Structure 1
Amino acid sequence: MSGFIAIWPIRQDPITRHRAPIHHEATTTTSSTTTAASTPEVLPVPVFDTLVLTASKILHKEANCVRIDDCNDNSRVVVVGDVHGQLHDVIFLLQDAGFPSEDRFFVFNGDYVDRGAWGLETFLLLLAWKVFLPQRVYLLRGNHESKYCTSVYGFEKEVLAKYGDKGKHVYRKCLGCFEGLPLASIIAGHVYTAHGGLFRSVSITPLKRSKGKKNRRITLNSETKPLCLGSLEELSKARRSVLDPPWEGLNLIPGDVLWSDPTMKSGLSPNTERAFGLLWGPDCTEDFLKKFQLKLIIRSHEGPDAREKRPGLGGMDVGYTIDHVVPSGKLITLFSAPDYPQFQATEDRFNNKGAYIVLKPPYFDVPEFHTFEAITPRPVVNAYYDYEDVLDSDEELDLASMVTAT
């Protein structure tokens, strides 16, 4: 670990107007002047461009819901939740679980960037693994792989600070890569994973073209029926290359997959706390599992900050919760960023552990939980976002600003 840190820039010029962040970490700081090299020297822009272009070509060719079916009796599938730029914890997780290989698959459930100080390094590390082993490493999209969230929660400022006058170029390339990230996975025909979770059914009816208007664009009449669960076929047809709302028509489905949350109340309802996506109850979990002959749903999206505000659901002390247990199987929330968030405006910390899941043969539907604590000491850095003024969880978002950002 120490060797990796020595050659990678760990402090540039992030926001400095805040007091020093509260840590369970070393009290010594590392100045950018004492690092071995700056980010563009370690990873020059042409090298960055080649990596992102190669990864983007692979990602854009993948289906909205990737199917991982080539597992055998020797295979293991590792599922990872939110990591939020906590590079040192990601490196530990890879070492602890065993690096990707012919017999070891990885499925990451999104939220690679924002809040943590090493979102760029984290994302590029995982992209490199994707390029190296494209059929063994699967990177799904999280709600933070968006233009709006990265403009609020630090990733944009981080990239601009680390790449200077080339920062805007690097940031745009990252956004383009985000657009290609698949939305969900199905593992061995038994396990569905996605960042947020389930999604609604959407009906789209094309309007007839007027006679004599051959070149007139056909508009779509979007009619959303009373909320009911969508199908895997509908998920496959959704257009995922939309970075931010407004979502409408079939694009309601990606919004749901990225932003939805479970609840203990039956039925489907709008997710008013987040202003996007849905809330779904145990009955919906059962319907989804039974309809598609699944045994397990693994989603992420909620850390200890969000779960603190969710009565009836478990906290995130150990990195996972089992939210629904129904006749056909289970729903699990998985969070892989320990001691989260890295930057916090109060003295009290959640001190949560992170976790990852290992799935084993024969059916890959029985989760084996592995919990871990944050790597310490982390190099002390300042935040790239106004964490004193921005909510910890993705609630009460500034919708007007979000639409303006698209």
Structure 2
Amino acid sequence: MTIDKQVHPRRPLLPNTDKSCLGILGGGQLGRMFAHAAQALGYKVAVLEPEAGCPAAQVAEHHVQANYDDATGLSELHKFATSVTTEFENVPADSLDYFARGGFVAPAGACVSIAQDRLAEKHFFTRCALNNGVYPAPHWGIATHADVLSAPDDLLPGILKTVRMGYDGKGQVRVRTRAELEAAFAGMNGQHCILEKMLPLAYEISVLVARGVDGEAVVYPIAENVHRDGILFTTLAPSPNVSPDIAKKAQAAALDIIAELGYVGVLCIEFFVLQDGTMAVNEMAPRPHNSGHYTIDACITSQFEQQVRALAQLPLGDVRQHSAAAMLNILGDVWYENASTDTQHEPAWDQVMAIPGAHVHLYGKAEARRARKMGHVTFVATSMPEAQAALARACVILGIAAPEQA
């Protein structure tokens, strides 16, 4: 695919007109929050999603219930909306290209296709690093057993990941030896993989950046992330550990990456800060990101409003952060009485909401399952220690092991 890096004049789709409907592929919580932001600005929303009663369809004006590559469904969505975006990276790039031919799509299919393939993504980051100096971890593509045998020794210990479709810790295995690598690749059932060297990680940060069709770009404050079992657990923003030099370098690299992609929309890029103070770029998500949810309550313009603005070709919004924020992911586990039973109860949301600065966001999912993202709570405060203390109080109420203080 060819990436269009040219800038173009903005042709705004103004709200409150007969044509003011925005389309989105995917009906999960990111689509739901996009719909809330779009409606607040005066737009209607049409969702393409095969699942009935999905979070986004509960709030959107139109729901086209079809698969993401269904020709009839794509045509139906196009009747409602000629400006279309996506809420997840695994939507077929061809479906995005379909809307680009008869309207406006952001991000473009060519950009999404790079993020869908970890090896292509690493190659792209390596090219960008010639300009910005921030390289990905050393890595090796593995498509055959011969690739396993020829993998450089210094990539072990490492993490074997499927090239496509992995998320929230799925499709990846830590390997320490060549024998473990062989066994892990055999367990991937023939999927193409990438072996990444494990780096001495101090902490992880994410940089949220947005770019308009006219080349205007903005970058949010640095957020710091903690994961549990491969799933985002907490995000602190602004990062309490990042130095001014690292923050400047990460934001500059993010702006370089989004420009090199010719990307329009919201892009999240994750970086590793290593124990020696250097940095490595990890991966990118061509959409709003879980680590950017804090922007709803702590920034002048949320990541979802920014997504709407980019899609409607409006000027991008102010990314200043007005409050310290600590975001807690809410998984389905908190509905279970304990780890050894299937008995469920409704969490004490009233007690959580009584905590000063707490903003509860639940996604409207009918069934709580372990490890399923059900919502998030953002705690805003005048200082990070205050926000962290509020998050810790909520963890006690919800029966979650509290995080260590940053």
| Structure of higher RCO (CA pairs closer than 8 Å, 6+ residues apart) | 1
More strand by share: 2
With normalisation by structure 2, the TM-score equals 0.28
